[in-house]
Amino acid sequence: MIDRIEFVDNYDDLSTDTGYQFEFKCNRCGAGYRTAFKATVTGAVSSALDAASSLFGGIFNQASDIGERVRSAGWQKGHDDAFREAIAELKPDFIQCPRCQNWVCRKNCWNDKRGLCKECAPDLGVEMSAAQASRSVEEVWAHAAMAEEDKKLATENWRQTIRATCPDCGKPLATNSKFCPECGAKVKFEEKCPKCNAQLQPGAKFCAECGEKLG
């Protein structure tokens, strides 16, 4: 029977030449657990051989090659064993959502009542509270007190065409002015024909509806 190692994609391998360590994270919130660092015998042996090679030379020049072989065989076997142990140790703290297939932590991101992760089945109480808070913010903005000048404009003159700049000098107009405070040019013009009461286009010399001469 083939010896297979079960694995998941929500982990980081923090192992080094001197030991093994793994970190498993929730795909939703990023929280997780890290296994304790497990030192290796092969790491100590290879380190000793590397030191011997650098100190003595000669016949010990081959020690580093031996160290590599120790790492490639013994280290890898130890790594596989440590990985199996890490999965067995931490897997109970995570669960895979049958809908989105993400691995999430049972502590914060699993909706036990629905049998789904909280991304697929959020806590209704939490969502309701968030919706109420969002609506409250919208109502604050909608009912915020306006300045008296803006309030007057909104209630009395909201149908008027209000210019943002002077038609003569192009300077911005801070208020709904009749004349430009910069050059004195007339800003407001008659908007309706005095004869037929039709709406007039800015700058029109004759009424487009009845032909009445304007100005």
Residue-wise pLDDT for 97-131, tens only, equals: 999 999 999 999 999 999 999 999 999 998 999 89
pLDDT tops 50 at residue 148? yes
What confidence tier does 140 reach under pLDDT thresholds 50, 70, 90? confident
Cα–Cα dist 88/67, whole Å: 30
> Looking at per-residue confidence, does 72 or 215 come out higher?
72
Q: What is the pLDDT of residue 42?
A: 59
pLDDT at 115 (0 to 100): 94
Residue-wise pLDDT for 156-190, tens only, equals: 555 556 667 887 888 887 777 778 888 988 777 65
Q: How far is CA 144 from the centre of its chain?
A: 29
Give the residue-averaged pLDDT of 30-39.
Answer: 94
Tens digits of residue pLDDT in 39-91:
987 555 445 445 444 444 444 444 444 445 455 778 888 889 999 999 999 99
User: pTM for this structure?
Assistant: 0.53
pLDDT, residue 184, reads: 85
CA pair distance 207, 203, nearest whole angstrom = 11
Between residues 93 and 147, the one the model is more confident about: 93
Tracing tokens 């793994």 back to the chain, one arrives at: 22
Q: Report the alpha-carbon angle 14-19-21, nearest 5.
A: 35
- Mean predicted confidence (pLDDT) in 121-144: 88
Looking at the predicted structure, is the pLDDT value of residue 207 above 60? yes
Res. 143 pLDDT band, cuts 50 70 90: confident
60-86 b/e (C-beta count within 10 Å ≥ 16 → b): eeebbebbeebbeebbeebbeebbeeb
